[in-house]
Structure 1
């Protein structure tokens, strides 16, 4: 019985194993339904052999274990019975653990206790693992204590199981404590111990603890297992300790080059952070076996690393050189390269590679087609985007929301008046059972806005509000902007107020509303928004500041313009061309002669003179004098300053002669 249950368990047939066990307990041995001839046996070298008769396999297993052959008859009535061997109970506990039936495993364990069947280390190891892997770590710890009550000595595997459970739960302190306990009880850590603990410590970037553990291993003449290397390198890269990573490389290379998969994993640790040169150094390590080829996975990772560094010519050259070095690109190579080139807008090369890929009998992934379509859409080459979409359908690859979203956005963003095309792909998407997300609906909204279809805008907006999770900040800002473009003040205000109530508003929300109020002549409300932006600290860039300056200038609040310019300079937000365009307008409004402003615009250091003039114009005299002093001490051409002072003299003279 134990052998049959074990065979079924190892084959993943948990329900059949459970049914056979319970039938056996009831006194019935039913083999007629055990038609598992489709199972193939795995040889010791890992290869899959031809399927054999299940009954023949069981007979062989029973013969090897010296068991009694009960297979001559398909059904036997034996009478009620219970297992009495430790190994049988262990098999049953493992069966229910693998089937994620914790309650049944616990019942078998309890039956074992009641029956007085001797437990062994395997029994407790299995139960500890089952309990811990189901999240019951306290129960797993209590089982460890129970081993002492039963006079059973835990082995290294027992502590390895607990250590791995602690590591998987993120409790590195408990994992370290478990590691120390192995030596405290007179046992020795093995490769599994070191791999599990190094993995746990590296995942938390605990550099000092990792290095201490490696030192302990070296003192015991234990080498770091190559499977731990990727985690160690990832930790060093995350901490920016590339020198230590290189030292570890050199130390490990003294014992030989790791396997291809480990080399690829180490390269990937560098690649993820954009360290393509370090990844390349690993790629070109001298191999221990002369003429040993690099696997496709190593090329794939180096291509990824160089792609992150935007070295696209190098990437293509590397790809073309693969065959010359005896390594053929696989589907992953083509897919990643096409997606990378598409992301860089090198769409012609990406398209050529897609044709080549299909000629090699590789089918592009959905993400690959999507990347090429999105690239064509970004470049306004919509006919090519549609062509790739049709090619995708012919290849039998089902488009996803990203594909349809790219097409819809392409027609909405780049083709004026193409609402019909955007709607066509939107309808196809829904007919395919794909749900529209915020990105897709926002794109469709743009199309409705471009043709001035107010009813369509409102319908899409309502649909966006009904989505699970509602609108996000980007969608809400898009809606405010779209309402503003259509001049729908009340709708824009309602969307803005809803956003403000949620505490989601940002600089974009405020600037959009401020300009909407300004454009419709509601200057007071525009100024209120501008003041609120300053109070909330939302003026963090020149673009936002410039827009507020426009509002102040429109409303004639020149002093506030001077204050904002001073704030910008204090925060090291250096005024740009847009700032000075507004500033020269402000000077004209303040009475500066137009010809003087024109003269200033064409002179070196005119911008510094314009700022000084603004300070003087609005009465911020201390700042104006300080600016002039800085100008004089700089020993530069003072012509702009002369123009400024002459203009200021004219302004003051006009003001003094007014009745």
Structure 2
């Protein structure tokens, strides 16, 4: 499928229904709609049924659903008690119900009830109550209690506390059954400890309960962990007595090798092998399941399909999906989501849409994950219209745009410049809704990356759902947005807002602020923030110190940079090669070779080797003192490092040889650069200036032509180098063409360029008085003088079209030009034969009280002498002006002289 170009919607629900606030730079791109055949038509899938309307048959006793007294509880079976306890949504109700059950006459302590209660308390993070329940258990902890508590602890973010239970089981002599073994294997897998997970599984299969692969100190380093009270039991000799004789006996009397019997265990192991990179073991485990009397279920197939997709085996994943029906396993929505994820990983949009459309055909319902995968794929391809169609399909089905997709959609709009659509989407789907602070930050970041600080600020200040407060991440993104846009003054009010909201800065906040002020040229403010960061208890990293040191270096604050370097080392932060490079380059720029070499030695003493950048800085340092031998040795060292020196180092050596007029050595480097197509404008300019300074004008002009034809000149200095050759040769035409190239490339000529232009014009091409008038206007800083000089140059060599373009720009109503520019424009029009235009301009000068110079008067007489021009003079009323002004010239002979000079100039042009 060929992605269609994005285009704004013509009233789709995704972007209508709200008016976006005005934003700076808001715009809406116009894209042509794609052909009808290329549009994607998304099926309108119904939403999943709500839990309250589920038709799943459940027949619990009425008293089991709403127990109103102890008599109702007494009539229930232990299984019904377990079911009722499990369905409690609040830990307090679960705690209360458990106590009521224990108070029932004849109640026998049930290990499953304890397991359910522990799960409730762990999920609610009620650690004091959990400890009370654990220590007050009437029965020794069973496998079900350990498994339930470990699972809940891991899901609550306390994997270390969960693993601590393994040592507690070992100390008490409770060997893991398959359920608890599977639980701990899954926890180790989710923690990325694949080797430990496999070791624990293989020990269990061999009939051993070994936890030697776990380090107790590593597991229990947190003194404030929720399960630290178990350490006292583990270290109690009386408590550990059952295990003193050796390895604990297996429950149910099983000894020796065994294999799993639960499908959940196989599923966990398949996922474990896959994530550990052992695909063959995962496939073998899947194949062995029927042989061991365990049939794979939907979740097992989903897991293996996902593993195959992660390994890039898309075809095998499709084969397994097709074989699920043959095996009698019905795919669910997650199965289709996994297949969509597989194709998303290889960028196959057709595959994603294929399985999305099959969800409805299978009688299933698309969920938020399904929608998120499709929207992600469309937004990554900037397919705005198709994404809007998908959003409309989601809304039509009664669902909502997934919250995780909102930043992705907003980023798509921002990246393609559809800011109006982005704001409209935000107003409808995000403002005032329960969008998390994390996703608000991601939306703001889409604008911040583009430097759109006002739009990011609008998101930051937008209305939130009650209770949805700004997190520190949002403030950090705003710091980034202000920094990118150099809005440093706004940071102070942002920090005040943080204090008012009682949001504490984190390490990222300080790092962002320090980076911002360092890059923005405020090293002292950055240093103050660095001190404040340390006072707040955060340890700055090497990159943070490096930013401030670099800022000091750019402002030539050498002592401050050295002091901070020493402070960095005293704080125990080891400088990296970037920090050393900054210091070495700082001293190289100031010509302090001794200090540059000192820090280069420190770099090598710390176990690092100088890279090409540092060696280049040292070459620059040596070149300050014309130490070409030392620089040459470093340049040879760079060659021995593999490859060839970069263009910066080569140009540094080239410039050094040029300063010392070492033509042979310079030519050797230059020829090497040109052979490898590495020479840039600086390389050519250096050789042009070298040959010119040595009097080798033909060689200089040859290199200048090569530079001009190469398309490499990208700055004024490169163009000036070429122009200097043309000036030396006295070639006005080539000089004018070069200036025209600069104008087309939007590279303004500098003072050196204009100096060479005046020098050429004085060299016999134009009267000295006329050049003096132009030069005087330029030196006086007249607004239009630069354009007038260039237009005059173009006109002199016959580049009339280019000269007319400049004159048309100068004569626009919004421009206010001086007499010099008017005279140049008159001469340009006269030289191009635009007599009526010249007369009209002459009249405007008269109306403005601007007197023409002598050359303009001569041009006027020349125009007057052309056939048909006299009638124009009479018509426009110039005869009187001519009689009054031209006759007042010094003498008739002088007038004749000027006219002859002017005729010669016209003949030349």
TM superposition score category, shorter chain reference: 0.7 to 0.9
Q: Which of 614, 624, 639 is the matching residue for 1:440?
A: 614
Task: Give the superposition deviation at 1:280.
Answer: 0.9
Three-state SS of the structure 2 residue aligned to 1:92 is helix
1:544-602 CA deviation, whole Å, 9 max, x = no partner? 33321211111333443344345556777665433221012113333756566434421
Three-state SS of the structure 2 residue aligned to 1:407 is helix
Task: Give the superposition deviation at 1:478.
Answer: 3.5
Structure 1 match to 2:530:
354
Q: Which of 472, 475, 493 is the matching residue for 1:296?
A: 472
Once the two structures are superposed, the pairs formed by residues 583-602 of structure 1 within 5 Å of their partners are 583-590=757-764, 597-602=771-776
Structure 1 match to 2:346:
169
Structure 1 match to 2:337:
160
Structure 2 match to 1:67:
none
Structure 1 match to 2:855:
641
Q: Take 2:788 and 2:380, find their aligned partners in 1: how far apart are those partners?
A: 57
1:604-631 CA deviation, whole Å, 9 max, x = no partner? 7776776687678779899897673479
Structure 2 match to 1:60:
none
Q: Is the 8 A contact 1:408 1:444 kept in 2?
A: yes
- Which has the larger displacement, 442-451 or 192-201? 192-201
Change in CA separation of 1:225 and 1:568 when aligned onto 2, cut-off 3 Å:
closer
- 1:313 matches 2:489: yes
Q: Which of 134, 147, 152 is the matching residue for 2:311?
A: 134
Three-state SS of the structure 1 residue aligned to 2:540 is coil
Task: Give the superposition deviation at 1:30.
Answer: 4.8
Q: Is the 8 A contact 1:40 1:48 kept in 2?
A: no
- 1:326 matches 2:502: yes
Q: Take 1:615 and 1:282, find their aligned partners in 2: how far apart are those partners?
A: 53
Structure 2 match to 1:181:
358
Q: Which of 316, 321, 324 is the matching residue for 1:144?
A: 321
Three-state SS of the structure 2 residue aligned to 1:232 is helix
Q: Take 1:551 and 1:408, find their aligned partners in 2: how far apart are those partners?
A: 37
Task: Give the superposition deviation at 1:335.
Answer: 1.4
Structure 2 match to 1:63:
none
Change in CA separation of 1:38 and 1:218 when aligned onto 2, cut-off 3 Å:
farther
Structure 2 match to 1:192:
369
Once the two structures are superposed, the pairs formed by residues 45-64 of structure 1 within 5 Å of their partners are 49-50=227-228, 52=230
Once the two structures are superposed, the pairs formed by residues 559-638 of structure 1 within 5 Å of their partners are 559-565=733-739, 575-590=749-764, 597-603=771-777, 628-629=831-832, 632=838, 634-635=841-842, 636=845, 638=852
For structure 1, the residue ranges without an aligned partner over 5 or more in a row are: 42-46, 57-69
Q: Take 1:463 and 1:386, find their aligned partners in 2: how far apart are those partners?
A: 28
Once the two structures are superposed, the pairs formed by residues 78-117 of structure 1 within 5 Å of their partners are 78=255, 81-115=258-292, 117=294
Q: Take 1:648 and 1:368, find their aligned partners in 2: how far apart are those partners?
A: 72
Q: Take 1:364 and 1:117, find their aligned partners in 2: how far apart are those partners?
A: 55
Q: Is the 8 A contact 1:600 1:640 kept in 2?
A: no
Once the two structures are superposed, the pairs formed by residues 287-436 of structure 1 within 5 Å of their partners are 287-289=464-466, 293-413=469-589, 415-416=590-591, 418-436=592-610
Q: Take 1:182 and 1:319, find their aligned partners in 2: how far apart are those partners?
A: 49
Q: Is the 8 A contact 1:182 1:188 kept in 2?
A: yes
Structure 2 match to 1:29:
208
Q: Is the 8 A contact 1:366 1:399 kept in 2?
A: yes
1:8-47 CA deviation, whole Å, 9 max, x = no partner? 342245334434544565x543547466756869xxxxx8
Change in CA separation of 1:640 and 1:211 when aligned onto 2, cut-off 3 Å:
farther
Three-state SS of the structure 2 residue aligned to 1:368 is helix
Q: Take 2:565 and 2:660, find their aligned partners in 1: how far apart are those partners?
A: 33
Q: Is the 8 A contact 2:203 2:210 kept in 1?
A: no
- Which has the larger displacement, 453-462 or 560-569? 560-569
Change in CA separation of 1:363 and 1:219 when aligned onto 2, cut-off 3 Å:
same
1:406-429 CA deviation, whole Å, 9 max, x = no partner? 11111111x23x100011111111
Change in CA separation of 1:649 and 1:378 when aligned onto 2, cut-off 3 Å:
farther
Q: Is the 8 A contact 2:336 2:359 kept in 1?
A: yes
Change in CA separation of 1:600 and 1:640 when aligned onto 2, cut-off 3 Å:
farther
Structure 1 match to 2:194:
14
Structure 2 match to 1:537:
711
Q: Is the 8 A contact 1:30 1:75 kept in 2?
A: no
Q: Is the 8 A contact 2:286 2:296 kept in 1?
A: no
Q: Which has the higher contact order (CA 8 A, sep 6+)?
A: 2
Task: Give the superposition deviation at 1:236.
Answer: 0.8
- Which has the larger displacement, 106-115 or 301-310? 106-115
- Which has the larger displacement, 435-444 or 230-239? 435-444
Length-normalised TM-score, structure 2: 0.64
Task: Give the superposed CA RMSD.
Answer: 3.5
Q: Is the 8 A contact 1:268 1:279 kept in 2?
A: yes
Q: Take 1:609 and 1:24, find their aligned partners in 2: how far apart are those partners?
A: 91
- Which has the larger displacement, 93-102 or 522-531? 93-102
Structure 1 match to 2:664:
490
Task: Give the superposition deviation at 1:95.
Answer: 2.3
Change in CA separation of 1:436 and 1:256 when aligned onto 2, cut-off 3 Å:
same
Q: Is the 8 A contact 1:147 1:153 kept in 2?
A: yes
Q: Take 1:32 and 1:567, find their aligned partners in 2: how far apart are those partners?
A: 77
Q: Is the 8 A contact 2:341 2:352 kept in 1?
A: yes
Length-normalised TM-score, structure 1: 0.86
